[in-house]
Amino acid sequence: MVGIGPGGPLDRTRRAEEAIAASDVVAGYGRYLELAADLTAGKELIATGMTREKERCRLALARAKEGKAVALVSSGDPGVYGMAGLVLEIAAAEGISVPIEIVPGVTAASALAARLGAPLMCDFAAISLSDLLVPWETIRSRLEAVAAADLVVALYNPRSQRRTHQLAEAAAIFRRHRPGATPVGIGTAVGTSEETILLSDLDRFLELPITMRSIIIVGNRSSMRIAEWFVTPRGYAL
Ligand SMILES: C[S@@+](CC[C@H](N)C(=O)[O-])C[C@H]1O[C@@H](n2cnc3c(N)ncnc32)[C@H](O)[C@@H]1O
């Protein structure tokens, strides 16, 4: 399991690049294989579609059982809404015993935080707004809990073409607990040539372009703007 970071080669770890270089087979969602194309010349490639996660894991495990070194690539960190857990679950459920290593990567929340300034300096949470695997009722109750707990939150999978109401509901939940001027940062395709970074606030961010390639960071009641930066103070007395 190899996390290739949010996009370009500059955000990959050396451990990730070495793991891919040492592999015979590289498996992953097609777009992630494209992002790692500079590392995969001469290797067997297994590309599967976006919703084919189980198939991808089974194909990777099957090749590993044959004795191949397989790099199953995820964007960002494979342990954050990635494939690490599924590989371990399938291997255990199907009695597949092969050595497995999980190589961490820069997750989208860290990549966006660095572009915005320092929004994650204090306690924070991550919530995915995708209800494909988790019921919306559960996600909504988690949003209510982190909003009430005044945690900064990184919202993964905020919106897709078919899934739009969740983000509006999430915004309304945060608006009940935080001022409208609370900073909200939006990063789309962070770390790629198509990157856009926008800084807005709770009252206005829904008007901005947000896609399935976006991640959003919502500040807490202490978060502030310092010039063009979004900062959540850690609490130092200055
Ligand atoms: C299935 S999750 C994968 C998360 C990934 N494992 C990580 O650690 O960043 C997909 C979501 O991650 C976020 N994401 C992944 N890469 C991103 C990038 N380069 N820019 C902005 N958001 C990104 C988006 O919210 C996207 O909908």
Give the DSSP H/E element, type plus range, for residue 127. strand 124-128
Report the interhelical angle of 136-148 vs 165-177 (nearest 10°).
20
> For residue 78, is it within any domain?
yes
To test the pocket of ligand 1, the residue of 56, 77, 81, 218 to mutate (highest count of ligand atoms within 8 Å of its CB) is 81
What is the reported pLDDT for 160? Answer: 85
For residues 45 and 154, state if they share a domain: no
CATH number at residue 70: 3.40.1010.10
Determine if ligand 1 sits within 6 Å of the CB of residue 174: no
For residues 112 and 227, state if they share a domain: yes
For residues 129 and 210, state if they share a domain: yes
How many domains is the chain built from? 2
Q: Which of 111, 119, 54, 49 minimizes the C-alpha distance to 87?
A: 54
**3 with 82: CB under 8 angstroms?**
yes
What is the mean pLDDT, run by run of 10 residues, along the chain of 238 residues? 95 97 95 93 89 90 97 97 96 97 98 98 97 96 98 96 91 98 98 96 97 97 97 96
Distance 157 CA to ligand 1 centre (A): 7
User: What are the distances in angstroms from CA 72 to CA 10, 68, 111, 176, 225?
Assistant: 20, 12, 21, 41, 39
What is the reported pLDDT for 201? Answer: 98
Determine if ligand 1 sits within 6 Å of the CB of residue 108: yes
Phi, psi for 9 (deg, rounded to 5): -60, -30
**2 with 91: CB under 8 angstroms?**
no
For residues 116 and 73, state if they share a domain: no
Minimum CA distance residue for ligand 1 atom 27: 157
Task: Give the residue ranges of DSSP H helices in the chain.
Answer: 14-21, 30-35, 53-65, 84-93, 108-116, 136-148, 165-177
CATH number at residue 220: 3.30.950.10
Determine if ligand 1 sits within 6 Å of the CB of residue 82: yes
For residues 205 and 121, state if they share a domain: yes
> For residue 58, is it within any domain?
yes
Distance 127 CA to ligand 1 centre (A): 12
Q: Which atom of ligand 1 is nearest to the CA of 158?
A: 25
Token representation of residue 176: 């009940």
> For residue 118, is it within any domain?
yes
What is the reported pLDDT for 123? Answer: 97
For residues 35 and 9, state if they share a domain: yes
For residues 51 and 155, state if they share a domain: no
What is the reported pLDDT for 10? Answer: 94
Q: Which atom of ligand 1 is nearest to the CA of 191?
A: 19
Give CA–CA dist 111/46, Å, rounded.
27
End-to-end CA distance of the chain: give it in Å, rounded: 43
> For residue 54, is it within any domain?
yes
What is the reported pLDDT for 128? Answer: 98
What is the reported pLDDT for 48? Answer: 83
> For residue 202, is it within any domain?
yes
Note down the domain range covering 6.
2-93
Determine if ligand 1 sits within 6 Å of the CB of residue 190: yes
